[in-house]
Amino acid sequence: GTMSPYQHGEVYVTDDGAETDLDLGHYERITSMVATRDHNWTTGKIYLSVIQKERRGEYLGRTVQVIPHITNEIKNSIRAAAQDVDILLIEIGGTVGDIESLPFLEAIRQFRQDVGRENTLYIHLTLVPYIASAGELKTKPTQHSVRDLRSIGIQPDVLLCRTDRQLDRDMKRKIALFCDVDEGAVITARDVSSIYEVPLNLAGEGLDRILLERLHLPETEAKMDAWEDLVERIQQPMDEVTLHFIGKYTAYEDSYKSINEALHHGGLPHRLKVKLQYVEAEALEEPDGLKLIEDAVGILVGPGFGDRGSRGMMAAAEYARTRKIPYFGICYGFQWAVVEYARSMCGLPDADSTEISEETPHKIIYKLRDLLGVDDMGGTMRLGSYACRLTPDSLAFRLYGEEIIHERHRHRYEFNCLYERTLTENGLRISGRSLDGKFVEIVELPGHPWYLAVQFHPEFKSKPLHPHPLFAGFVEAAYKRKLALAGVSTNVTSIAERRR
């Protein structure tokens, strides 16, 4: 709970409740791995663990050093993550030459000795920039970084060359010669318009075969049909739809990385390209602020913390509710939707969240754990995956198609069940709650075309090959509104049919 979205981008949450770097999200989206806290290691986490061991006397009072203590700790974390897998991919962030990454590089250098040359493969990601004025690609940055890497004892087996155009045979030969890498192992990693084109491109370059060969694994047939279908859907949409995304950190798109991705995934079953119109929640609080969303066909209010923009989020929820614009609230967007409903529909104009107002007489959103007497910034969030039971016949149930779902959480405050009756008697529907009944996880509005708000973060489980049902449903609803406004008649089945 102490990571700034501006510095780190989105805080990515794993099933087991670790708050990690957003890179882990890409791995979960693109592969079938289920990430855990053991899949992300920061320098701080490594040092903390070593310091704790030292304090417990595990080093018997001997001097603690980067080599071997820090490097051993890194190697142990690699081994811990390698249980029950065929291949372990280890990404070392940063740039060769950074002081921060040195212990990590030394650890993987040693690792090859530990587990055997034939069981390891070093892939080095380098840059091959195109200099427009000279009209040529430059191999120097690649040569330099490979030289730096070799000076610390690592000879890369494969070079992934980031570039904006295909590297020709001569270029690859030149890089191979200077860097002492096989020509076939110089791979063009060309810029692409969608990250989901990357697996196909790398396969086209033969990277998959090289990996199997170098790791002495049997060569099997690559099945890329699903990826080909996906890329075709991305490149050739049937139509597009623009969604309004209300948030607190919209100036920096990476702070909502997983939601952005999930919204794009949500368009794929319908062959729709999703465009996003970001709106700072704070701007909606200005006198003419709501003009910013007047032509919205779908409004999403995203996660957030603190006072700034919270009233704007509430205004967006009200706007969507009263004008019957599809509304999707996620986490903070759930909380403000509920407070807005209490204020406007239940005769509780002072209703609030205790995150903003401790004094409110109607603590609609509060901290259940306050009552338990625990509080410490960074330590008391409800984090990770929890089961949720859906109400039969609800919109949520129809979308998920199952009764028990599991979604990831990251919040400190929650729905106050003392107000459950007031809210439901006035028309709000609770369509999902934790199995013990203590936590309200989903609310929706019968009679509204599509109004759904969730306390959890569904975005973390959406994948391009398996778009999340809530996002797919939201995009579909928004698109239907777009067609309706344009006077095109449509019905649910026409879109659902295209989906098949």
Residues that bind ligand GLN (CB under 6 A): 303-305, 331-332, 335, 355, 410-413
Residue closer to ligand GLN (CB basis): 214 or 410: 410
Catalytic residue among 331, 340, 388, 409: 331
In 325-371, at which residue ranges do the beta strands (DSSP E only) sit? 327-330, 352-353, 363-366
Residue closer to ligand GLN (CB basis): 185 or 281: 281
| Pairwise CA distance, residues 17 & 462, whole Å | 17
| Pairwise CA distance, residues 303 & 10, whole Å | 10
Q: From 389, 465, 483, 467, select the one nearest 31 (Cα to Cα).
A: 465
| Pairwise CA distance, residues 211 & 86, whole Å | 12
Instruction: Count the Cβ atoms, other than its own, within 10 Å of residue 434.
Output: 17
Residue matched to tokens 């989901």: 196
CB of 411 to ligand GLN, least distance (A): 3
Q: Catalytic site residue 459?
A: yes
CB of 155 to ligand GLN, least distance (A): 44
CB of 368 to ligand GLN, least distance (A): 11
Yes or no: say if 298 and 477 are a contact pair by the CB < 8 Å rule: yes
Catalytic residue among 10, 318, 407, 459: 459
Residues making up the chain, counted from first to last: 500
Alpha helices in 361-409 (DSSP H): 395-400
Residue closer to ligand GLN (CB basis): 318 or 355: 355
Catalytic residue among 10, 457, 468, 476: 457
CB of 268 to ligand GLN, least distance (A): 25
Yes or no: say if 23 and 93 are a contact pair by the CB < 8 Å rule: yes
Q: Catalytic site residue 179?
A: no
DSSP classification of residue 288: T
Residue closer to ligand GLN (CB basis): 226 or 418: 418
Which residues fall within 8 angstroms of residue 316, CB to CB, at 6 or more apart?
244, 246, 279, 281, 284, 293, 299, 301
Q: Catalytic site residue 457?
A: yes
CB of 133 to ligand GLN, least distance (A): 46
Residue closer to ligand GLN (CB basis): 106 or 459: 459
Instruction: Count the Cβ atoms, other than its own, within 10 Å of residue 226.
Output: 12
Q: Which residues are catalytic?
A: 331, 457, 459
